[in-house]
Amino acid sequence: MVYSMPVILEAKEVGKTYRMGKVQVSALRGITLEVEKGEFLAIFGPSGSGKSTLLHVLGGLDRPDKGNVFIDGINLSTLNDAKLAEVRLRKIGFVFQFFNLLPRLTALRNVELPLTLADVSEKESIQKATDILELVGLKDRINHRPTELSGGEQQRVAIARALINDPKIVLADEPTGNLDTTTGWEIVRLMKRLNEEKGQTFVIVTHDQSVAETANRMIYLKDGVVHGVKKGSGSVRL
Amino acid sequence: MRRKQILTMAWANMKQRRLRTSLTTLGVVIGITAVIGLASLGEGFRVTVTQRMEQGFELNVLTIIPGSLFAGLSRERFNDEHVQSISEINGIEIATQVMQIGNVTLHKGDKEVRAFVATAVNFTEFVQVFSDRFEFASVNGSPEQWKNNTIVIGYKVNHPNDTEIPFASAGNNVSMTYLKKMEQVLTPSGVKTTPIYETRNFTVSGTLQKKGTSGLTNFDYWIFIPLDTAREIYGPPYESDLIFVKVSNPDDSDRISENIEALFPPYRISILAPVTFIRQVDYILSLIQLFLTSIASISLLVAGIGIMNITTVSVMERTREIGIMKAIGAKNTTILTMFLAETALIGLLGGLIGVPTGYGLSYLLSIIISRFTMGQQQGTVFQNPETQHPMVTPIFSPTWAIGAMLFGIIICVLFGLYPARKAAKLNPVEALRYE
């Protein structure tokens, strides 16, 4: 395969060490990877392999101890906290295993929140949030609060929220991990559809090999080291 | 972040925890109530006292007395030249000198009354200075017509022990016994000083109505004779004891006092200016008001600690939410603002409720004070002249109201700052993991 698409996310020799009580735990040991625009990349590995830590570091939510992360050509380690938050706001969309919606806000307000942070006018942001909720199939649920939504619906809201600022890349941490198999596959299909139809770049972290197989490319992570890269099927089994 | 959205979210959070918000706000309400209550009452007290003093004093009359409090009361005497140069000072309408004669007795037939002091005045000038105070019970002609050997008698002198029937009325003839001089006589036991008394006949040209104390003097106890008569009795040098000055504008008192003082050697005279005196009292009362209000504002600090406590709890409870906000791109300052918006809203709410209740409290206090002191404080400045009830009406001052509200909000924000900063500095990954 000829790499013709530009690289939008790049990690170079990224290392991260945690201190758990008195023990030093090396979560990441020199990881180098590139994500191309429009790619659907899966980071796959057993629990404790450092997948989530890697995702946090890639998304500017956490800072690596070693190495550098570049998003859209910007070296994240040169940024202060405020600038890093700006990058998360404008260039990254996060999707989490436990949805992480704000319980007091309706689906619409949850999706709209990043636009609120970006100082977009209320009228414009509500229109945009409504459109995106429609895109993820929640047109008639926009005024429900998270507690009134099923797990699958909540994850759709979370995906809508991740997409609202037109991010360069969406980072999903075990997006199916808290859903039953059927619903989980619905979410995977939704992400694949967004990837194919809109060219949205995705990086998903999963310990479920069948989910990882749907990606264009799989990175196998173990003990904080990349143990292998292979091409995925790129398609979802029905 | 959109400001409106920050406030909306803050309000939603406060509504979510209604009881907690109410109790925290109550603390602020109590603080603001105490501040406004005492400030309004203090303001009312200050204004009432000042007004009553202004009514009691002739604001436009300055009194020049010999000597100075710090250099001793010297027997500085005033003469015609002094009066002349003082009258020429800009802003002075008239200056008049007064001579005082101690211990006099008036006789009419077999009746006798005593006066503490007889005051020798230029009637035409004197009545001009104290125009409000000369109300006659009986009078012959007008002050300009009164010649030598006429006399005006104050109410208490004319009615000793408040008798119904006056000692004398206009047109009566009376005689006055007064101290002429102290004579030194050589006796076998040494030099002895003997008072020499003299008696002189006067025609009563007027008797005064009861007026009571006004400022520093009470004419009820005074009798007045013409200055010319006194000069005739005592001969030259023609000197006097006091000078009264009437100024056109009481607010010029300071400048005029300085101009008068400049005419005399240092520390030889003192000038009593009611405006200056009232200003001092007003200043002291403002300080007392400020002091009381400062004590009341301590309760606001207590409320502030309540805010700090509740915000700390709130930050812990919402750790995960803070993590989410940060993950989707909220800056530290945004998180900080979100929490401070809540504490500021509590401060605002506390102020909006506390200001009216504080004003109500000051009314309640003024009623309680008036009930407790009724009939005790006779003749003080706190009495309503008609009802004789002590009366201080609280005064609502917008400055105090706005000041108290701002102070409340500032306290709330300041005390919220510490927990809000802790929230802002949370590590997003750890915050997201928080259960």
The interface predicted TM-score (ipTM) is: 0.92
* Residue spans of chain A under pLDDT 70: 1-4, 237-238
The verdict on B240 and B382 lying in the same domain is no
What confidence tens digit (pLDDT) does each residue in B354-410 have? 999 999 999 998 888 777 766 554 445 455 555 555 567 888 889 989 999 999 999
With CB atoms and an 8 Å threshold, state whether A118 touches B330.
no
Average confidence (pLDDT) over B213-238? 86
Does residue A215 sit within a domain?
yes
Does residue B66 sit within a domain?
no
With CB atoms and an 8 Å threshold, state whether B429 touches A82.
no
The verdict on B242 and B322 lying in the same domain is no
pLDDT given for residue A5 in this prediction: 78
Contacts of B13 in chain A (CB under 8 A): 104
In order of A66, A150, B321, B338, B406, the CA distances from A144 in angstroms are 43, 11, 18, 23, 38
Does residue B271 sit within a domain?
no
The contacts of residue B277 (CB under 8 Å, 6+ apart) are B53, B57
Does residue A236 sit within a domain?
no
What is the number of domains present in chain B?
A: 2
The verdict on B101 and B246 lying in the same domain is yes
CATH number of residue A36's parent domain: 3.40.50.300
Does residue B244 sit within a domain?
yes
pLDDT given for residue A49 in this prediction: 87
pLDDT given for residue B74 in this prediction: 62
pLDDT given for residue A2 in this prediction: 52
| Model-wide pTM > 0.80 | no
User: CA nearest A55: which of A77, A33, A74, A79?
Assistant: A33
A27 contacts A17 by C-beta, under 8 angstroms: yes
At CB < 8 Å, which residues of chain B contact A? 1-2, 4-5, 9, 12-13, 16, 320-321, 323-334, 427-429, 432
Contact with chain B for residue A86, Cβ under 8 A = yes
pLDDT given for residue A160 in this prediction: 94
Distance from C-alpha of B367 to C-alpha of B380, rounded to nearest angstrom: 17
Does residue A76 sit within a domain?
yes
The verdict on B86 and B148 lying in the same domain is yes
Does residue B68 sit within a domain?
no
Reduce the secondary structure of chain B to three states and give it as a string. CCHHHHHHHHHHHHHHCHHHHHHHHHHHHHHHHHHHHHHHHHHHHHHHHHHHHHHHCCCCEEEEEECECCCECCCCCECHHHHHHHHCCCCEEEEEEEEEEEEEEEEECCEEEEEEEEEEECHHHHHHHCHHHCCEEEECCCHHHCCCCEEEECHHHHCHHHCCCCCCCCCCEEEEEEEEEEEEEEECCEEEEEEEEEEEEEEEEEEECCCCCECCECHHHEEEEEHHHHHHHHCCCCCECEEEEEECCHHHHHHHHHHHHHCCCCCCEEEECHHHHHHHHHHHHHHHHHHHHHHHHHHHHHHHHHHHHHHHHHHHHCHHHHHHHHHCCCCHHHHHHHHHHHHHHHHHHHHHHHHHHHHHHHHHHHHHHHHHHCCCCCCCCCECCCCCCECCCCCCCHHHHHHHHHHHHHHHHHHHHHHHHHHHCCCHHHHHHCC
pLDDT given for residue B318 in this prediction: 92
pLDDT given for residue A55 in this prediction: 93
The verdict on B303 and B205 lying in the same domain is no
What confidence tens digit (pLDDT) does each residue in B104-132 have? 999 998 888 988 789 999 999 999 898 88
Mean pLDDT rounded to a whole number for chain B: 87
Distance from C-alpha of B349 to C-alpha of B289, rounded to nearest angstrom: 25
What is the number of domains present in chain A?
A: 1
Distance from C-alpha of B333 to C-alpha of B1, rounded to nearest angstrom: 10
pLDDT given for residue B375 in this prediction: 55
The verdict on B244 and B115 lying in the same domain is yes
User: Containing domain of residue B221, as a range?
Assistant: 77-263
Residue B181 has pLDDT above 90, yes or no: no
Average confidence (pLDDT) over B49-58? 81
What confidence tens digit (pLDDT) does each residue in B72-107 have? 656 678 989 999 999 999 999 999 999 988 779 999
Distance from C-alpha of B87 to C-alpha of B93, rounded to nearest angstrom: 7
* B16 closest CB neighbour out of A96, A101, A104: A104
Residue B187 has pLDDT above 70, yes or no: yes
The helix/strand/coil state of A44 is strand
The contacts of residue A122 (CB under 8 Å, 6+ apart) are B2, B4, B5
The verdict on B180 and B302 lying in the same domain is no
User: Containing domain of residue A133, as a range?
Assistant: 7-231
CB pairs under 8 A between A and B: 72
With CB atoms and an 8 Å threshold, state whether A89 touches B324.
no
Does residue A1 sit within a domain?
no
The verdict on B121 and B188 lying in the same domain is yes
Contact with chain B for residue A74, Cβ under 8 A = no
